[in-house]
Chains A and B, each alone.
Chain A
Amino acid sequence: MSQVMGQPARQRTRYEADDRGYFGETWGGRFMPEALVAALDELTDAWQEAMADESFVSEFERVLREYAGTPSMLYHAERLSEIAGARVLLKREDLNHTGAHKVRNVMGQALLTKRMGKTRVIAETGAGQHGVASATAAAWFDLDCTVYMGAVDTRRQALNVARMQLLGATVIPVESGSATLKDAINEALRDWVASVDHTAYLFGTAAGPHPFPSMVRDFCRGIGDEARAQCLEQYGVLPDAVAACVGGGSNAIGLFTAFLEDEGVEIHGFEPGGDGVETGRHAATIHAGEAGVLHGARTYVLQDEDGQTIESHSISAGLDYPGVGPQHSWLAASGRASYTPVTDAEAMQAMALLSRTEGIIPAIESAHAVAGALEVAKRLGQEKGPDATIIINLSGRGDKDMGTAIEWFGLGDAEEGPDADLEQVEKEAEQ
């Protein structure tokens, strides 16, 4: 049973999981070794009790407010709105402490870890954002912290490795398999099987076995609850659409949840299209994957005809995952939300456009949402006029992505000169 924070138990909606963790009777569940079942049951009980306990909920809200800086503002991006011909609102999760929505998830899970009396946390990380967030939460709550990170990624993201170490975490490079995010998850699960009596696994996204998809959603749903209230208060209307990028999908489910029952609100997820879905080099799991079981849940998976996981590709490390949270699979299958791929090139264009029109450098993850949402906004503007409103979750800031931007656009000391893309962005901004 899941609850709106700080409110009494209510009827479960058709979009939520049943007691066994199944969304829409098919998606999600718990496909896990028996050795971890007792820990997952313990976690499920602790999470449900905590969500029904006003003192836990108010402490969680206090921590987010005083430490992470929530509620994040809902910002009217006026120049972007002019380009779109519709009102574009940005949910500024990039302004949270640690620079992304992920702080909500880790502070919630770490607070729960303390409540359960465990002394150590483990986490997986791809580019290092969830690892840094976990190390931050562990420092704040005085917990031991070990982060598993693919060896390929520790080399690509040395700065984030250093951040985690400075925060007091141990970073373990994972050499097995493809030595990327999915293998880091495998290794964290292997650690957890052997350490489960004193260790909590801070899962980085709304995926994995029950209760993680629902629990992570509950810790992230403040994004949408705040945005819905802010939109009503500031503009007196609900938005016509909401939009977010989807890798595992924690920022997206955090935004979408508040709007699921608002039937007039379109819900759009934008998946990493990489070099283009037709090239096979992408991470558009819902758009191009097939139903399967990965990391404990039935969901859309990039897999070959024998069910072996296929490596995903995205310019955005935070979206580069061959699975997706099972609730998104259900929202897609049920038709409540639509999921569309956005290519690397389209996302990088949007990164530059937002930088040059609004003075906001978004994470490349969030730039996928901006790129996709602008197309939706243009359509809404034509259909409903300039008061048509869309909320885009600006889930993270782009500081971490400057290395990629330098290479892509030919900035600074990059070996090749400025990219043609920037001229096109200038043209679009001037229109």
Chain B
Amino acid sequence: MTATTTSTSTAFAKARAEDRSALIGYLPAGFPTVEGSVTALRAMVEAGCDAIEIGLPYSDPVMDGPTIQAAAQQALDAGVRTKDVLEVVAAVAETGVPTLVMTYWNPIERYGVERWAADLAEAGGAGLITPDITPDYGTEWIEAADAHDLDKVFLVAPSSTDERVAMTARASRGFVYAAAVMGVTGARDATSDLAGPLVGRVRATGDIPVAVGIGVSNGDQAAEVAAYADGVIVGSAFVRTLLDHPGDEAAGIEALRALTADLAEGVRRGKR
């Protein structure tokens, strides 16, 4: 099967045309099962996600809080493999929504960087979000991504110097992922006051879209972030929703749709 890759830039272009932020939803592949993750991610697309991030479960996820750790561990315990992740990518990319993979580095190095880029492109994946690779240590990935026309989404953090923000924005394609807080992934009660200035610092370097992740869990928070960011990334809240409905797929999917709709309404409410 040869899929058509949809770059993440199309999602941001569409959102910009509607004068709103894009909603990017995350779930790990293989959680709760390989088929279950496809069903869940497709439901999120139908209910209003503009782009999808699929997590590649890894044994040592240092940037993830307890919620995503638990989901990734559940997927690994059930035997999910790297090749399964590519299957999930293909099944979600078929919807036409840009589909990225978020992955720690060792599984990619192990798979073979060039081979991974080729297979991800073949599956219709838009690119990679790399939480433990910065551009200055990512030469091999940058070359492979460029060769296969894939998005390279690197992270910036409140602690990043202006020089590093500029370097990261230059090296990224698709969008720049702004980590809203100094901390790991997970829902938080209040949105961060560090995210706004960080987005501003990325903006000052050029016109690549900036999406904010870490901590957003409901429509009101999404609206707050949408007021200043091109995209709102939600992960742990989706995972938590599925974790809260163990063994009842229909109820879990229904709750995912409701959360997606709330968040999608939020990114439309936020004044740009």
| Interface pair B110/A303, CB less than 8 Å apart | yes
Is A404's beta carbon under 8 Å from chain B? Answer: no
| Interface pair A177/B183, CB less than 8 Å apart | no
| Interface pair B76/A308, CB less than 8 Å apart | yes
B61 touches which of A35, A38, A186 (Cβ 8 Å)? A186
State how many angstroms separate the Cβ of A175 from the closest Cβ of chain B: 9
Fill in one digit per residue for A165-192: 1 if any B CB lies within 8 Å of its CB, else 0: 0000000000011000011001001100
| Interface pair B133/A294, CB less than 8 Å apart | no
| Interface pair B62/A196, CB less than 8 Å apart | no
Is A293's beta carbon under 8 Å from chain B? Answer: yes
A33 to B60, CA, bound (A): 13
Measured CB to CB, the nearest residue on chain B to A176 is: B69
A271 to B74, CA, bound (A): 32
Fill in one digit per residue for A277-313: 1 if any B CB lies within 8 Å of its CB, else 0: 0000000000000001111101001010111110000
Instruction: Tell me whether chain A's interface is mostly helix, strand or loop, or mixed.
Output: mixed
| Interface pair A33/B110, CB less than 8 Å apart | no
A37 to B164, CA, bound (A): 9
Is B9's beta carbon under 8 Å from chain A? Answer: no
Contacts of B60 on A, CB cut-off 8 Å?
A: 177, 182-183, 186, 294-295, 309
**Do A31 and B131 contact each other (CB < 8 Å), given the known contacts A38-B159, A193-B63?**
no
State how many angstroms separate the Cβ of A9 from the closest Cβ of chain B: 24
Is B205's beta carbon under 8 Å from chain A? Answer: no
| Interface pair B110/A292, CB less than 8 Å apart | yes
Is A30's beta carbon under 8 Å from chain B? Answer: yes
State how many angstroms separate the Cβ of A251 from the closest Cβ of chain B: 24
State how many angstroms separate the Cβ of A34 from the closest Cβ of chain B: 5
**Number of contact residues on A: which range applies?**
35 or more
**Do A34 and B156 contact each other (CB < 8 Å), given the known contacts A193-B182, A303-B106, A306-B107?**
yes
Contacts of B63 on A, CB cut-off 8 Å?
A: 33, 35, 190, 193
Is A29's beta carbon under 8 Å from chain B? Answer: yes
Q: Which of B62, B63, B65, B168 has the most C-beta atoms of chain A within 10 angstroms of its own C-beta?
A: B62
Is A32's beta carbon under 8 Å from chain B? Answer: yes
| Interface pair A31/B137, CB less than 8 Å apart | yes
Contacts of A308 on B, CB cut-off 8 Å?
A: 58-59, 76, 107
Q: Which of B58, B82, B109 has the most C-beta atoms of chain A within 10 angstroms of its own C-beta?
A: B109
State how many angstroms separate the Cβ of A181 from the closest Cβ of chain B: 11
| Interface pair B157/A35, CB less than 8 Å apart | yes
Contacts of B133 on A, CB cut-off 8 Å?
A: 31
State how many angstroms separate the Cβ of B83 from the closest Cβ of chain A: 9
A251 to B93, CA, bound (A): 50
Is B161's beta carbon under 8 Å from chain A? Answer: yes
Contacts of A190 on B, CB cut-off 8 Å?
A: 62-63, 65, 183-184
B105 touches which of A31, A36, A177, A182 (Cβ 8 Å)? A31
Is B160's beta carbon under 8 Å from chain A? Answer: yes
A31 to B181, CA, bound (A): 20
Fill in one digit per residue for B128-160: 1 if any A CB lies within 8 Å of its CB, else 0: 000111101100000000000000001111111
| Interface pair B62/A34, CB less than 8 Å apart | no
Contacts of A197 on B, CB cut-off 8 Å?
A: 182
Given contacts A298-B109, A307-B109, 9 further A-B pairs with CB under 8 A are A34-B134, A34-B168, A35-B160, A37-B157, A186-B62, A193-B183, A197-B182, A295-B62, A303-B106
| Chain A residues engaging chain B, CB cutoff 8 angstroms | 20, 29-39, 176-177, 182-183, 186, 189-190, 193-194, 196-197, 292-296, 298, 301, 303, 305-309
